Structure 1
Amino acid sequence: MAAKIPSYKQWIKPEIYPLFLAVATALSMGGFVMARSIAVNPDVRISKQDREAGVLENYKEGEVYKNHRLRHYALKHGPQIMPSLNNYFSSYSH
């Protein structure tokens, strides 16, 4: 009689750990965006008093929400992943 393989070893193999990591990263990023939108977004009103206020003209609060720290960091740096390698090949003459 053959030994029975535990069900977790049958379905969870080391080859699929990167898939688990990718899915966990995507879920955590989505959760962060949802939590940030609910907690900080000036257009989201959770309490009844805020909802009764209707549409608020809060442009300053919207600008603060839009220009967060990560956006400031990204705007200061160029959109290159490897700038030294890109500069090397762009300055290469045939």
Structure 2
Amino acid sequence: MAPSRWMKPEVYPLMAAMTFVAGMCVFSLTRNVLINPDVRINKAHRATAVLENEEEGEKYAHHSLRNFLRNRSPQIMPAINNFFSRRD
């Protein structure tokens, strides 16, 4: 009788997907807590009702990845899409 394993190999893809998703959640939460201008951690910022930080909000909303993707085509695989949508 073969010894039982703690984790079966069939579970590896599921663990990889769950680890990736958990990493994305941690990244998003960390980014929001540290950089988002609407999140107020210290007492002085919480005391103000409305923060006058429009330029900080614009900087947060238009980050470098969004600026990089702004002028790109919203296709995942443009070469394949163009190949199959081409009319002869």
For Structure 1 versus Structure 2, the TM-score category normalised by the shorter chain is 0.7 to 0.9
Q: Which one of 72, 79, 88 corresponds to residue 77 of structure 1?
A: 72
Which amino acid counterpart does residue 15 of structure 2 have in structure 1? Answer: F
Which amino acid counterpart does residue 66 of structure 1 have in structure 2? Answer: A
After superposition, the CA RMSD in angstroms is: 1.6
Which amino acid counterpart does residue 36 of structure 2 have in structure 1? Answer: N
Shift, 1:53, TM fit: 2.2
Partner of 2:56: 61
Which has more radius of gyration?
1
Partner of 1:27: 22
Count of paired positions: 88
TM-score (norm 2): 0.87
Partner of 1:49: 44
Shift, 1:80, TM fit: 1.1
Query: What is the percent sequence identity of the aligned residues?
Result: 44
Greater displacement, 38-47 / 70-79:
70-79
Shift, 1:19, TM fit: 0.5
Unaligned runs of 5+ in 1: none
TM-score (norm 1): 0.82
- Secondary structure, aligned partner of 1:57: coil
Moved segments of 4+, more than 2 Å: none
Give distance in 1, aligned partners of 2:70 and 2:11. 36
Shift, 1:74, TM fit: 2.0
